[in-house]
Amino acid sequence: MQTFIQTVLYTAPGGEALFKEEPIVLDQGKPQALLSALMPSGGYQLRHSPVGFQSDFHCTTTPQWVFILQGQMEITLHSGESRVFYPGEHFYSADTPPPQVDFDPKRHGHRSRQVGEDPLVTLFLRGG
């Protein structure tokens, strides 16, 4: 069975942000164009970030897919692990604040930044 591997940014039980990979089964459609089941969504936003953009540590407020349309986006975790996503790549951002815990930017969330010579253009597609 064919699968699509999605990168997921999530909150571990200890409250730290981590990456993991999860398969999505492609069991719909036809052999020449396999599809996943239809997933709910709740709207989308486009964002333009200039060269030099860098966020502070933060959590995702609403789980969402992040698609890189132009430029490069680096996501850095408190552990020091980082990943760079390029045009045509994406990840599912679900590192929401830990339940019943006050957000601590020294411990929770991730930081994002534009890297390279081109501005960063992203599409955020909220989960439903």
Tell me, what's the pLDDT at 101?
A: 86
List strands edge to edge, sheet with 64-70: 17-25, 3-11, 90-94, 64-70, 120-127, 41-49
Q: What is the pTM of this model?
A: 0.91
What's CA 106's distance to the chain center, in Å? 20
CATH number of 3-127: 2.60.120.10
3-state helix/strand/coil string of 9-31:
EEECCCCCEEEEEEEEECCEEEC
Instruction: Please give the structure tokens belonging to residue 85.
Output: 């996503």
- pLDDT of res. 128: 73
Tokens of 118: 């081109």
Q: How do beta strands 28-30 and 41-49 pair? A: unpaired
- What pLDDT score does 23 carry? 96
For each successive 10 residues of the chain (128 residues), what is the average pLDDT? 94 94 96 94 97 97 96 97 97 90 92 98 93
| Domain ranges, ordered by start, for the chain | 3-127
- Judge whether 8 and 70 are in contact, CB under 8 Å: no
What was the pLDDT predicted at 1?
Answer: 81
Three-class SS string for 80-112?
CCEEEECCCCEEEEECCCCCCCCCCCCCCCEEE
**What local confidence, expressed as pLDDT, does residue 74 receive?**
98
Angstrom distance (rounded) from CA 109 to CA 10: 9
pLDDT value of position 47: 98
Structure confidence at residue 100 (pLDDT): 85
What's residue 14's pLDDT? Answer: 87
Tokens representing 50 are 């200039």
